A and B are shown apart, each in its own frame.
Chain A
Amino acid sequence: GESVGLHLPTLSVQEGDNSIINCAYSNSASDYFIWYKQESGKGPQFIIDIRSNMDKRQGQRVTVLLNKTVKHLSLQIAATQPGDSAVYFCAENMAGGTSYGKLTFGQGTILTVHP
């Protein structure tokens, strides 16, 4: 059949605003979650991770929230800057797996930050 490109969700914010990017995951057996950022022409770059025994983790300007009840993950970016413009992916890893690098990536969200 005809293949179609992924239609990525988009989020457009003003510089200095806080951004929230959401992700729904499907595998209730997943116990490790990661956010990656991909800038145009580059490979994905690790932002922050969280294990399933936590519901919140903070990094520098970023916070990840995990709601296992509804299988939802979010990434909050404080004081968003133009350099934060990129595609953001959530990724999950299944419990009991032998490899934390065998990740299932979400479709991604395009974040555009306007000066």
Chain B
Amino acid sequence: DSGVTQTPKHLITATGQRVTLRCSPRSGDLSVYWYQQSLDQGLQFLIQYYNGEERAKGNILERFSAQQFPDLHSELNLSSLELGDSALYFCASSVIAGYGNGELFFGEGSRLTVL
């Protein structure tokens, strides 16, 4: 158990809909990362938050947004869903944001299926 909790574990929805994925980082971790894992693209970095502020951005679509709340949990919002958004979405956390130990602790993921 990594200590990172993601909900829901599975989600099935229709094209055009909007969903919210939730992540609770390990106790004490200030950084939260979101990654997308799909069959054709592999594991891709989406976005990182550190102590409530956006720190780094990857290939995140404009239809997707995220935030980190004062209690450090994070949410990833996916809107106007398309079939190609079907994927596993992982949240990871770490103690620090910048240089240092790059060990990320990943949750078990939220599997999104868009029909």
Contacts and interface: CB of A to CB of B under 8 A. Distances in A.
Interface stretch (B12-20, B64-72, B74-82, B105-113): B105-113
A101 B92 contact: yes
Residue of A5, A44, A93, A100 with highest tally of chain B CB at under 10 A: A100
B103 A98 contact: no
A101 B42 contact: no
Contacts of A32: 102
Interface string A86-110: 0001000100011111111111100
B45 A43 contact: no
Contact of A49 (B44, B58, B98, B102): B102
Main SS class of interface, A: loop
Q: Bin the interface of chain A by size.
A: 20 to 34
Given A99-B55, A100-B100, A101-B48, A6 B108 contact: no
Given A5-B39, A98-B98, A100-B102, A43 B92 contact: yes
Interface of A: 3-6, 32, 34, 41-46, 49, 89, 93, 97-108
10 contacts: A4-B40, A6-B40, A43-B106, A43-B108, A44-B104, A49-B102, A100-B98, A101-B31, A102-B58, A103-B45
